[in-house]
Amino acid sequence: MNIYRLLMNKQKFAAILLLFTAILVLYSCTQDVLESPLDQRLQIALDNCAPSGNHRDFLLPQSNDFQNIPQDPKNPITAEKVALGNLLFFETGLALAPFQEISKSSFSCGSCHVPTAGFMPGRPQGIADGGIGFGVNGENRDKYPSYDEDEIDAQGIRPLTQLNVAFVTNTSWNGQFGANGVNENTESLWSNNEETALNFHGFSGNETQNIAGLDLHRMVINKTVLDTLGYTPMYDVAFSDYPVEERYSVETTALALSSYTRTLFTNEAPFQNWLQGEHTAMTDQEKRGALLFFGKAGCNTCHDGPALNAMEFAGIGVQDLFEHGGLGTDVNDKKNLGRGGFTGKEEDMFKFRVPQLYNLKNSPFYFHGSSHNTLRDVVQYFNLAIPENNRVPESQLSSFFRPLLLSETEVDDITVFLSEALYDPNLERYVPENVLSGNCIPNNDPFSQIDLGCE
């Protein structure tokens, strides 16, 4: 009856018809944006690669969605631990066991894991104790003149990032930390070495490595130190389930640090926004690069999952840090052996963990030995597949390390996908304004203070 009356009123009918057409036109326009052939092809390619058949498998969690963040059941993530770990990670006031008195209270975890450099050092090697200066992204840090090479705190391998580290069950380039995952049934190896003996505590990789790291990086944790700096009330809230005698310890500190680092996701990168359905977040070139990455170039054979990493070890024959400016390391450094340096097994020699691929461009020192300085060089290295380290026998190279026959344009497209689409421009959200000591962060030596504008 109503409709009949409407139809009778021609004016109204025309108006409704117009509105209807307008909605139809608008709808088909938005559909066009969503269903450009490139977006469609990429979505299909990603669906095909995803374990559940849906491209959303590649989405990183939100930092406050604790339930969906991979974590150690022995160290459930809480807001209190994250808040504490966030400060401790940058707290130069914990640097109380330097080799020379002059470096006291001058370094932190953030000295080698610099937020503006994608939580990498911004130079080929990280230097904490015995380093001086910062620059903009860590690039001007150097050895303190009064230190000898073997007195500084610097490892014989390039630091790994803290970004997306929740997706790493066994940490370090050789995966030696963590009681479970790929280290199941490696117990017989743990007591060989002070660091891996920590695996007997039964924690996951991050928690275990951070227990080791506090000591290795010359930091001092006890009630007196934490009282002086003002942290004990935060420990009381975060670790109320620990008896007071065990509350202000290296272990609780490592658990808080791990809770914090497990929330460091690059979930504002264009590729992540695209996966959420915002198809204009990536340029056509980046989309073509992504299609190659997940298709013809086969990068996802190794770089997989939300962090584009893997708990697998592969040999691609790259050079070591002593060849690229590393101090305190040489051809005999055990770190050069990769997984084999931990297991001692012939089959594991020269194989390194498959790292994540987000926010690489602000610390342009790629591979475990910092042997390449542009992402294009890295892509070209995979494309040509000519090993650069003649100490690595051919038997140890991955069968997927073989010429890809990509054109120059295709190499460019993959490079842009890596450098732009996998780049979260807003990592400042993970850095505290201040730490409780009031010291300069992440470094506090006189040159860094100037560089960081702390004076």
CB-based contact 401:385 (threshold 8 Å): yes
Q: Which of residues 413-442 bind ligand HEC (CB under 6 A)?
A: 414, 418
- Exposure string of 319-335, with b = 16+ CB inside 10 Å and e = fewer, is bbbbbbebbbbeeebeb
Q: Which residue has the tokens 């808040």?
A: 83
Under the binding rule (CB under 6 A), the answer on residue 157 touching ligand HEC is: yes
Output the smallest distance, CB 76 to ligand HEC, in A: 18
Q: Which residue has the tokens 């808080």?
A: 256
Q: What is the total count of residues that contact ligand HEC (CB under 6 A)? A: 52
Query: Long-range contact list for 364-367, CB < 8 A, 24+ apart?
Result: 365/120, 365/121, 365/123, 365/124, 365/158, 365/324, 367/158, 367/316, 367/318, 367/319
Output the smallest distance, CB 63 to ligand HEC, in A: 17
Q: Work out which of 303, 361, 376, 391 binds ligand HEC, going by CB under 6 A.
A: 303
Q: Which residue has the tokens 């959303």?
A: 56
Nearer to ligand HEC, 242 or 400 (CB): 400
Say what the alpha-carbon torsion angle 418, 419, 421, 424 is, to the nearest 10 degrees. 120
Nearer to ligand HEC, 287 or 335 (CB): 335
Reference 128, options 444, 446, 436, 364; nearest CA is 444
Question: How far apart, in whole angstroms, are the C-alpha atoms of residue 206 and residue 224?
Answer: 26
Binding mask 205-224 for ligand HEC (x = CB under 6 A): -x--xx--xx--x-------
CB-based contact 257:88 (threshold 8 Å): yes
Under the binding rule (CB under 6 A), the answer on residue 259 touching ligand HEC is: no
Question: How many residues belong to the chain?
Answer: 455
Sign of the CA dihedral with 91 first, then 97, 99, and 102 last: positive
Binding mask 379-398 for ligand HEC (x = CB under 6 A): x--x---------------x
Under the binding rule (CB under 6 A), the answer on residue 355 touching ligand HEC is: yes
Q: Which of residues 318-347 bind ligand HEC (CB under 6 A)?
A: 318, 335
Output the smallest distance, CB 29 to ligand HEC, in A: 35
Question: How far apart, in whole angstroms, are the C-alpha atoms of residue 111 and residue 107?
Answer: 6
Q: Which of residues 5-64 bind ligand HEC (CB under 6 A)?
A: none
Q: Which of residues 91-120 bind ligand HEC (CB under 6 A)?
A: 109, 111-113
Output the smallest distance, CB 360 to ligand HEC, in A: 6
Angle at alpha carbon of residue 361, lines to 357 and 365, rounded to 5°:
85
Output the smallest distance, CB 454 to ligand HEC, in A: 19
Under the binding rule (CB under 6 A), the answer on residue 378 touching ligand HEC is: yes
Nearer to ligand HEC, 302 or 440 (CB): 302
Under the binding rule (CB under 6 A), the answer on residue 182 touching ligand HEC is: no
Question: How far apart, in whole angstroms, are the C-alpha atoms of residue 396 and residue 388?
Answer: 13
Under the binding rule (CB under 6 A), the answer on residue 411 touching ligand HEC is: no
Output the smallest distance, CB 428 to ligand HEC, in A: 19
Output the smallest distance, CB 208 to ligand HEC, in A: 9
Question: How far apart, in whole angstroms, are the C-alpha atoms of residue 112 and residue 163?
Answer: 13
Binding site for ligand HEC (CB under 6 A): 109, 111-113, 126-128, 153-155, 157, 159-160, 165, 168, 171-173, 206, 209-210, 213-214, 217, 257, 297-299, 301-303, 314, 316, 318, 335, 352, 354-355, 357, 360, 366-368, 375, 378-379, 382, 398, 400-401, 414, 418
